[in-house]
């Protein structure tokens, strides 16, 4: 039986400025990662494809992080996406290159209509592609999901043609801002590019 994942925080992307949700989430995130030692490399693994709007959340987050000189190693950008075709190879590369890495997976997700536009952090690995039946490996120690559209059980791929770039871009910016704020709360000694 699969262990239920614990939601550590959630916030709506469009509300993050007015409600200081980013700062609250960054502090919650910092407390959740407090036990990660200074010797453990932190890796951000942004999963998705740049070939359709619904799946671009992860690569957009990765691109925004790189453009803002994020202090930790980032895999998965618009230029070099990590997707179903290279996820396993990329994950193995990370595991072989870094000693005991702390991996934070980032991916788009589907959910009920009330979840659209929300960003949630979970404890435990992410299962990319599960919403559309892809059998990809579980990756990460924690993960962030951006709920980009609704799930329709009779036609799970409908969201491929029905997702607004505006919402995905705002969610990606908010998530990148969250991660940048979180990194600024951490000691400079933990930066390990």
- Distance, CA of 185 to CA of 129 (rounded, Å): 32
Residue 191 lies in a domain: no
Residue 2 lies in a domain: no
Domain span including residue 152:
7-186
List CB contacts of 148: < 8 A, sequence separation 6 or more. 54, 57, 108, 109, 110, 116, 159, 163, 167, 168, 171
Dump pLDDT digits (tens) for 48-84: 999 888 899 999 999 999 999 999 999 999 999 999 8
Residue 98 lies in a domain: yes
Quote the pTM value. 0.86
Mean pLDDT, the chain, whole residue set: 83
Mean pLDDT confidence for 23-43: 83
Q: Give the residue among 68, 78, 177, 88 at the shortest CA–CA distance from 139.
A: 88
Q: Residue 140's pLDDT is what?
A: 87
Question: In total, how many domains does the chain have?
Answer: 1
Domain at 101, CATH number: 3.40.50.1450
Residue 193 lies in a domain: no
Residue 69 lies in a domain: yes
Q: Residue 138's pLDDT is what?
A: 83
By mean pLDDT, which of 9-13, 61-65, 145-149, 177-181 is the weakest? 9-13
């Amino acid at each position: 039986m699969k262990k239920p994942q614990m939601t550590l925080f959630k916030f709506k992307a469009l509300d993050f400025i007015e409600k200081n949700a980013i700062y609250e989430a960054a502090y919650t995130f910092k407390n959740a990662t407090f036990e990660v030692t200074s010797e453990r490399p932190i890796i951000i693994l942004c999963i998705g494809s740049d070939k359709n709007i619904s799946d671009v959340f992860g690569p957009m987050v990765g691109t925004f992080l790189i453009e803002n000189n994020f202090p930790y190693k980032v895999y998965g950008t618009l230029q070099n996406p990590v997707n179903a075709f290279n996820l396993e190879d990329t994950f193995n590369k990370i595991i072989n290159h870094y000693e005991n890495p702390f991996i934070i997976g980032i991916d788009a997700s589907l959910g009920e209509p009330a979840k659209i536009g929300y960003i949630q952090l979970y404890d435990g690995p992410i299962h990319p592609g599960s919403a559309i039946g892809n059998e990809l490996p579980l990756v990460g120690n924690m993960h962030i999901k951006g709920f980009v559209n609704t799930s329709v059980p009779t036609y799970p791929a409908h969201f491929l043609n029905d997702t607004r770039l505006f919402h995905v871009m705002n969610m990606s910016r908010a998530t990148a801002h969250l991660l940048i704020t979180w990194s600024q709360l951490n000691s400079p000694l933990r930066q390990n590019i």
